[in-house]
């Protein structure tokens, strides 16, 4: 938000202005450790707050249902062309409102209701839209999820059995809490053996892929979906991409994808987001982005090595990417408590289930951490090691606050825990250390 915009908003809506300033302060003084969050550049912010939001543009470039879209056509085509070049794909749709609508559109394009599907189990690190039981994807399709092995890696033997027995028409690879590189070639071997479509959800690793520090799925899959935020550092939108392999399997696949977005599941695109995506893709094509992506992984590995040194367990005992999943099961369901304690200490992370979690999804045994946002602020291995030490100290400080076995007692236990920790001197003191660190690392896109 530039100075002029701030003054206008402050005068017109002081209440909302106050809340935005509070959030600005939180972002500047805290450490953003959620792996699905990042900071956009000032250029991306400027497009997202631009006059592009005024225009309705149902349809696609040069095929609109509204007049006055000449300039919008140019902007959307620019985003499409940049994505095609960056990811080396044949067709791109940049209109999905986010990752979940993009995934739903893939189902709509490829399947009929009741068709069998397979994706990573949510509690093992998969996404809701990969067929989790409470998602519409499991209500409209027959879901046969695969899991992780005890070592925290994909159980391909199980997926082979699912493929042979249930013959899913669509298999998902990709995850939302998986610390290891996705082995696209192994998924492709299984999908090809039964003639299934293979879709890669790269929402978390898209930036790592274009940065050259994670293998690309393009040679192995038929469809690729992604969000445009997270490691790609763009606005909160989505994309669907069709590969050469996808077109070879079905020459009408690009048209099917487009129709699944509009008119199949969405109306007018958000043009201000499309413009922001175009800017982010241009930024990701620059040489410095490769350095950024490489530093994300270096930072993640540095943090993981510090946890390992301190004896803090991690799913798969480390990481290949931007993400670390702490295994706190030895302390009971500690994820929710640790998330709140970190919040008091100006560190934002998210509680998360671990494979075969003995606790509840609401009070899980894991904590999910990531390095994209910290890396965007210019932090490196030295800071990551210090942050891991702080988190370890907090784990040891609260580890005796174990979740009650009786489910009916948990809500009160968490409420009491929060009340006690809210003014805890140790956590507040830790927060001051964090604030001191953040002063040396400005947040991209935010002016003081």
Catalytic annotation, residues: 56, 58, 201, 227, 230, 236
| Three-class DSSP category at 77 | helix
Radius of gyration of the chain (CA): 22
Tokens read off for 137: 């994807």
Distance of CA 209 to the CA centre of its chain: 14
Please give the Cα distance from 283 to 288 (Å, whole number).
Answer: 9
CA atoms within 13 A on the CB side of 334: 24
Please give the Cα distance from 231 to 39 (Å, whole number).
Answer: 9
Please give the Cα distance from 163 to 173 (Å, whole number).
Answer: 14
Helix-strand-coil split of the chain, %, nearest 5: 50, 10, 35
Task: Give the CA angle between residues 323, 324, 326 to the nearest 5°.
Answer: 155
- Residues 72-94 as b/e (b if ≥16 CB within 10 A, e otherwise) read bbebbbbbbebbbebbebbbbbb
CA quadruple 303, 31, 436, 442: dihedral sign:
positive
Q: Residues annotated as binding site? A: 122, 126-128
**Which residues 6+ apart lie within 8 Å of 420 measured at CB?**
none
DSSP conformation class of 367: E
Please give the Cα distance from 216 to 196 (Å, whole number).
Answer: 19
Q: Are 69 and 268 in contact (CB under 8 A)?
A: no
Q: Residues annotated as binding site for (6S)-5,6,7,8-tetrahydrofolate? A: 122, 126-128
| Three-class DSSP category at 363 | coil
What is the longest distance spanned by two Cα atoms in the chain? Answer: 64
Tokens read off for 257: 């994808």
């Amino acid at each position: 938000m530039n100075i002029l915009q701030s003054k206008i908003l402050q005068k017109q809506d002081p209440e909302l202005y106050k809340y935005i300033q509070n959030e600005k302060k939180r972002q500047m003084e805290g450490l953003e450790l959620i792996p699905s969050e990042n900071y956009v550049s000032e250029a991306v912010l400027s497009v997202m707050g631009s006059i592009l939001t005024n225009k309705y543009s149902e349809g696609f470039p040069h095929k609109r249902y509204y007049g006055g879209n000449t300039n919008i056509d140019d902007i959307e085509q620019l985003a499409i062309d940049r994505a095609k070049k960056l990811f080396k794909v044949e067709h791109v749709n940049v209109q999905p409102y986010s990752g979940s609508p993009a995934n739903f559109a893939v189902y709509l394009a490829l399947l009929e209701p009741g068709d069998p599907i397979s994706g990573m189990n949510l509690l093992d690190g998969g996404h809701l839209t990969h067929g989790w039981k409470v998602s519409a994807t499991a209500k409209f399709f027959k879901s046969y999820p695969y899991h992780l092995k005890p070592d925290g890696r994909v159980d391909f033997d199980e997926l082979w059995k699912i493929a042979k027995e249930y013959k899913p028409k669509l298999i998902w690879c990709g995850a939302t809490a998986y610390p290891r590189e996705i082995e696209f070639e192994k998924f492709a071997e299984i999908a090809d053996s039964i003639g299934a479509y293979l879709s890669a959800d790269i929402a978390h690793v898209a930036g790592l892929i274009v940065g050259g520090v994670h293998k690309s799925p393009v040679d192995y899959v038929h469809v690729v979906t992604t969000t445009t935020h997270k490691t790609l550092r763009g606005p909160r939108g989505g994309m669907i991409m069709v590969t050469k392999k996808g077109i070879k399997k079905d020459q009408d696949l690009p048209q099917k994808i487009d129709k699944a977005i509009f008119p199949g599941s969405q109306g007018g695109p958000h043009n201000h987001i499309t413009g922001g995506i175009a800017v982010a893709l241009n930024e990701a094509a620059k040489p410095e982005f490769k350095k950024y992506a490489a530093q994300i992984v270096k930072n993640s590995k540095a943090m993981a090595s510090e946890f390992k040194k301190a004896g803090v367990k991690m799913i798969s005992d480390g990481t290949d990417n931007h993400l670390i999943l702490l295994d706190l099961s030895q302390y009971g369901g500690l994820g929710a408590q640790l998330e709140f304690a970190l919040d008091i200490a100006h560190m934002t992370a998210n509680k998360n289930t671990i494979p075969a979690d003995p606790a509840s999804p609401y009070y899980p045994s894991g904590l999910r951490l990531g390095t994209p946002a910290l890396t965007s602020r210019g932090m490196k291995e030295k800071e990551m090691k210090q942050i891991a030490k702080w988190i370890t100290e907090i784990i040891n400080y609260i580890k005796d606050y174990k979740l009650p076995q009786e489910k009916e007692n948990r809500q009160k236990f968490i409420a009491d825990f929060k009340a006690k920790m809210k003014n805890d001197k140790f956590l507040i003191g830790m927060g001051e250390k964090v604030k001191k660190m953040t002063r040396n690392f400005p947040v991209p896109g935010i002016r003081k």
